[in-house]
Chains A and B, each alone.
Chain A
Amino acid sequence: MSAEGLGPLESAEVSIKLFVDDHAVVRPHELIAVFHRWISEGLLEDELTIDVANYEHVPQGPGIALICDKSHYYFDVRHNRWGLRYRGRREARATGKDAVTDALTRALKAAALLENDPALEGRYTFRTDQVELVIYDRLRAPSEEATLEAIRVDVEAAIAELYGEAPRSLGLVSVPKEPFAVAIENASSPSLGELLGRLAPAG
């Protein structure tokens, strides 16, 4: 579909990845059953969950994917770092700062589900001081500093709202041919529960 005159955060393809604390605990194969259970029990709110794809055989790949109607969730190992990635697909759910908040919220919720999943016995925990933002949309978000500058204010505002302070740094970490990727370094590393608590509607 065409994308007349829209900016990077108008894209549907905004992604947030949260990294696991300890790579040694990761056994990707066990997540296949976990994601299947999420589908059958409808654990991801506001998502139409469809299928699980297993790419554990691919080095530094998408790992285990949970395919939804308007998004994908991956437990991926790109660049040898395991983590939970939320990735929007088609039809932006929000724009600008809200797009970052929406992606971050969905990633946090999925990561919290993993942290609390009984089958995983509390082995999976996530750090929140480092967050990766990727926009898989080369038309609206080419991998270049100009794209970073175009989204900087919105990203900083979204982080500040959630963490209570602006990120310590935002840095472009992708080369021109790669999807646009930004490393977000935060000054603190609140727990997932704490961050999700801040997102809870007032009252």
Chain B
Amino acid sequence: MEAVGSWQDKLKDRIPEELGREIDIFETQMKLRRRGEVDERLFAETRLRRGVYGQRYDNGHRHDGTQNRELAYRDHPTKGPETVWDAPGMLRIKIPYGKLTADQTDVLAELSEDYADHISHVTTRQDIQLHFVHIDDTPDIQRRLAAVGITTREACGNSVRNITACHLSGVCKTEEFDVTPYAEALKEFLLGHPDVQDFGRKMKPAFSGCAHEACGLVNMHDVGYIAKTREVDGQVQRGFEFYVGGGLGAIPHDAKVLTEFVTEEELLPLTQAVCRVFARLGEKENRGRARIKFLVAKLGIEEFKKLVFEEREQLPHDPRWTAYIDELPDYDEKPLRPPVPLQVNGEHTPEFKAWYETNVRAQRQEGYAVATIKLPLGDATGDQMRAIADIAREFVGDAIRLTVEQNIVLRWVSEADLPALFEALAAVDLAAPGAETIADLTSCPGTDTCKLGIAASRGLVAELTNHVGHLNGGTDPALKGLRIKASGCFNSCGQHHVSDLGFYGISRKKGGRLVPHFQVVLGGKWMENGGSFGLPTLAIPSKNIPEVVKRVTDRFLQERNENETFHEFIDRWGKVEVKAFLQDLTEVPAFEEDPSFYSDWGDPRVFTMEDYGEGECAGEIVPLVEFGLQSSEREVFEAQLYLDAGDMDRAKAMAYKAMLTAAQALVKTEYLDVTDDPDHIVTEFRTRFHETKRFHDKFAGAKFANYLFQTHESGGNGGRPEQARDQVQEAQLFIEAAYKVYERIGTQGAPA
């Protein structure tokens, strides 16, 4: 066997330079944090923006049902406030609009086996999550992902999260047009964009191909786009109805129309303007009110609109706004096999027929179908992911997508291949019927792994699956399309507000003991992009929730009017009646009488809230300038490494870059549009901080600013090699001076 090196060496030719550089930077930041040279709060937001999340019990404590026990990890610096370095965490992997290739699917399989618990978990926002991952492994994981074109950048933290879109985009019979290339363009444009680095909270965008189906869920997103066309001078013009300010959480908000038609040309700049207004005016102190929905509600949509369009007028032109339009005609997902209709005959097995009925949807392209792989609780093993990759290669090529219902679809299946595809999936236990029916339940991780989880949503959904799973699309068609969704807490990651029967975890006390409960939310509308939110009714002990489902669905079948939807039925039934109907289920027996009520589904420990932690969903509020200054510190650290290695030219170049980064960070506190051009940075810095003497040191005067000016005038790399050491030290002093100025800004308020 050949001696192995590292993933960094092995993959160096396959990782795009920029992605590789970002990962190297993250690894350096980890080293600095381990040495205690980066503040824990800053490091937490840094890792979150790389998708590296905390997980339950990472504060070093766990309640075992009788007592709170300390988890005696080794003593290292923390990886964030109250977050132990060695505690296992979660890695969120952004999969833009859920699109995966076969090779990417293979790599996800490998990563789940090599670094996690053998499971790839599909989230409700088309991400993949790996759990029980150690932070030290994350740079290599990111490298292996980067080698197949996946980045975890901005998968968490106060940034633009994964851009989701209908999994049927491009093949759907009801869409206006394929939104995929637009989602891709927006993703490329916003990733790492300076205007999305200073939010008080995250921003989630979504695209939908039509208004009436569910899959894009635009109504519950921070920013959303529904495909639309109009005729101008006899020409069909593509664009989007642009929504803003939707969201779930404790108090769901319907998205508002920002404009009824944004053209292809204006899609990116108008979104950029929204981001700027959100960054400038959005709440920064109170995380609970920092999403854009609160800003829209506070200002009113008309004022928000006015500000956005004013901002749009101020934006410096960016050629990327329209560059993607030229590439639109090139975007095309091609089928692997020719279209051949399915021969429907008596030879198909009952299992195939059941699967075909619920898991197969005809594409608008004749002879092709989309097949849905229903994943229990969104989980697939490494072996299954690998099998999906191989099956995709055989039948559809790279046409794989994740769905917001935690499933995986294979698109462009030639219909004649469906029986063979079914057999291939069945061989790896992936041919369960009932996709997108009442038997296809959704859950966020809940108390299984989430620090914010209150109740065991996954445990509940596993139990409910035992109760409704046999319906497989419903013995009664009225039940077939109902959705059941559960969240571990009010934050609504399970999307319970837009399901027919929704549940979110809470707790109640009985006889001095805590009892896990779920709030019952009925009658939300899944269709029409998550068209309306359900009716919160009452809190029911977890152990009685299966009975809630049985009673409510039975009642619906018995008393619904002809063609009445569940949403309409609940509306007619009314909150008062529903509460009376379920009231007896709120009763909790005494612990001595039935202790099972005092434990959660799938968790035998006596229920407690002592494991409830500080969530990281909200990220850390870190001003943009601090990121810049942190980068400059990391760069000067790297300059030192070059110096130690005797590479004087690179040491000087990196020291110069560190000074520029620090100067740019300060300039950005008042002028966000400063570019990366060194001349531009130095000019702006000179005008704003040197000539105003704000960068001057009480004793040293302009000395530190002059370090930058002299180095800049020499082209950044001037002087003899032996001057490198001086230059690195000067950069260090410049950065320290920059920090001091920033501290003064913080105490005196931002300069005019």
Contacts and interface: CB of A to CB of B under 8 A. Distances in A.
Given A55-B119, A139-B6, A36 B64 contact: yes
Nearest to A35: B604
A137 B114 contact: yes
Contacts of A51: 56-57, 62, 132
Interface in A139-153: 139-140, 146-147, 149-150
Interface string A4-34: 1111100001000000000000000000110
B376 A58 contact: yes
A90 interface: yes
Contacts of B386: 177-178
Contacts of B72: 48
Contacts of A140: 4
Interface in B391-442: 428-429
Nearest to B461: A57
Interface in B59-92: 62, 64-66, 69, 71-73, 86-88
Contacts of B8: 2
A54 interface: yes
B568 interface: no
A31 to B, nearest CB: 11
B49 interface: no
B462 A78 contact: no
B377 interface: yes
Nearest to A79: B383
Contact of B69 (A40, A62, A89, A137): A40
B241 to A, nearest CB: 39
Contacts of A33: 604
A179 to B, nearest CB: 5
Contacts of A53: 117, 131-132, 448-449
A29 B465 CA distance: 15
Interface in B592-639: 602-605
A6 B4 contact: yes
Interface stretch (B134-142, B344-352, B525-533): B134-142
A32 B1 CA distance: 41
A197 to B, nearest CB: 30
Interface in B103-141: 106, 109-110, 113-114, 117-119, 131-132, 134, 136-137, 140
B119 A61 contact: yes
B47 to A, nearest CB: 16
A13 B382 CA distance: 16
B379 interface: yes
Interface in A95-133: none
Interface string A149-180: 11000000000000000000000000001110
A13 B137 CA distance: 12
B137 A1 contact: yes
B671 interface: no
B376 A2 contact: no
Contact of A139 (B4, B106, B458): B4
Interface in B222-250: none
Given A33-B604, A50-B57, A54-B448, A67 B114 contact: no
Which 6 A-B residue pairings sit nearest by Cβ, starting from the closest? A2-B6, A59-B429, A40-B64, A33-B604, A5-B3, A57-B376
Interface of A: 1-8, 13, 32-33, 36, 39-40, 48, 50-51, 53-55, 57-62, 65, 67, 69, 72, 74, 76, 78, 89-90, 136-140, 146-147, 149-150, 177-179
Interface of B: 1, 3-10, 56-57, 62, 64-66, 69, 71-73, 86-88, 106, 109-110, 113-114, 117-119, 131-132, 134, 136-137, 140, 376-377, 379-384, 386, 428-429, 448-449, 458-459, 462, 465, 602-605
Given A6-B3, A69-B71, 9 more contacts: A2-B8, A5-B3, A5-B5, A40-B69, A50-B57, A50-B87, A55-B119, A60-B429, A76-B118
